[in-house]
Amino acid sequence: MSDLPKKKFVITRFDPDVDEVPKTQEYEIPVEPDWKVLDALNFIKDEIDGTLSHRWSCRMAVCGSCGMMVNGEPKLTCKETLADYGDTVEVSPLANFPIVRDLVVELDGFMDKFKSVKPWIIRAKELAVDEGPMRQSPEELEEFKQFSMCINCMLCYSACPVVANEPEFLGPAAIALGHRYNVDSRDEGAERRNEVFRGEGTVFSCSFANECSEVCPKHVDPAAAVNQAKFNAVIDWAKGLVLPRGGES
C-alpha cells in the first residue's frame, strides 16, 4: 500500500447534531490503479474515519444508490475511475437535494414526485387471467424501452437547473417514467397522468437544458421524454379544444 500514489479527497461532512452547516474534511490516501471513487470512500470509512456516511450497494452502476457530486459533476461513484481524476478529488452530496448527513441526501422528495405520476400500468379494466397475457410487439416496446432503463439514481435531478429553482417541478426521472407508461401500448392511464403533467409540477417548466441527458449513466435521455411529453400534452390540449370532454377522467 505504501508504494501506491496518493490522492487527496475533499469530502463534505455534515452532522445535524453538531454542525450548523456542512463543511469539508480532507483525507489523503493511497489509491490502487483500478479503483473507483467509491473504493476510496469505502477505504476512508473502513480504515481512517468510520463516521463517514455514504450510500452504495451494487458497485456496478445498476442500483442507483451511490450518486454524488464528484468535482462538481453528478456521478455514480462506483462507475468513476480514479485514474481519470487529478491529485485532488472533491466529493459532495448530490446537488439540489436536502442533505441528511455527509454524503447522504433526502430522497423522499423524489419519491413523492415519482409516486404522483403513477408509474405503473393503468387499465380501464384489468384482464382476467384466462384472457391471457397483454401482447406487445417489438416495435411497440421500442417506443418506450429506453425510458424504462432508469435506475432512479437522481443524477438528473442534481444537474437540472429547473429542479434547482422550481420546487414543484416533477423533474426529469419522474416525467420520463410517467411518459414511459403513457407511451406503453398496454397502458390506458395517460389521461390521469397528464393531469399531473399539467399540474403544479408541470412538464412545461422544463427549459431543455439537456443536462439530465448529459449526466444520465444509463442513457435514458430524460430530456427526450420530457419534451415528447410536452408535445403530447399540447396535442391533448388541442384535442380538448376541438372535442371537449365531459367531467369524468
Partner 1 sequence: MKNLLLKFEPLIWLLFGQGIMIGTLLLTGWVLILGIAAPLGWVAPLEFEHAHELAASFIGRVVLAALIALPLWKGAHHMRHVFIDMGGADRDSKVAPLLYLISLAGSVAAIVAVVRL
Partner 2 sequence: MARASHPHAMHPKKPGSTRTAAPQMPPKFPMAGRYRAYTLFDWTGLIYLILGFMALEIVWALGTGKAEWVALMERFQNPIYVIFHVLALVSVIFVGVRFFGFFPKSQPPRIGPVKPPPQPVILGGLYVAWIGISAVFSLILSGALFR
**Which residues are at the interface with partner 2 (CB under 8 A)?**
14, 16, 19, 21-22, 69, 72-74, 92-93, 95-101, 105-106, 108-112, 142-144, 157-159, 161, 163-167, 183, 207-211, 214, 221, 223-224, 227-228, 230-232, 235
Q: Which of 118, 198, 210, 214 binds partner 1 (CB under 8 A)?
A: 198
From 83-91, 114-122, 184-192, 195-203, give the range in contact with partner 1 by CB under 8 A.
Answer: 195-203
Q: Which of 161, 191, 195, 245 binds partner 1 (CB under 8 A)?
A: 161
Q: Which of 165, 191, 195, 245 binds partner 1 (CB under 8 A)?
A: 165
94, 68 in Cβ contact below 8 A? Answer: yes
Q: Cβ of residue 47: shortest distance to partner 2, in angstroms?
A: 26
Q: Cβ of residue 159: shortest distance to partner 1, in angstroms?
A: 14
Residue 244, Cβ neighbours under 10 Å: how many? 7
Residue 198's binding partner out of partner 1, partner 2, none, with CB under 5 to 8 Å set by partner kind: partner 1
Q: What is the DSSP letter of 148?
A: G
Report residue 62 as a C-alpha cell: 445498476
CA distances from 69 to 42, 167, 195, 241 (A): 16, 20, 33, 45
Binding of partner 1 at residue 239 (CB under 8 A)?
no
Give CB contacts under 8 A, 24+ apart, made by 160-166: 160/96, 160/209, 160/211, 160/212, 161/207, 161/209, 161/211, 162/205, 162/206, 162/207, 162/209, 163/96, 164/95, 164/96, 166/205
- Chain contacts with partner 1 (rule: CB under 8 A): 161-162, 165-167, 198-200, 202, 204, 207, 230, 233-234, 237-238
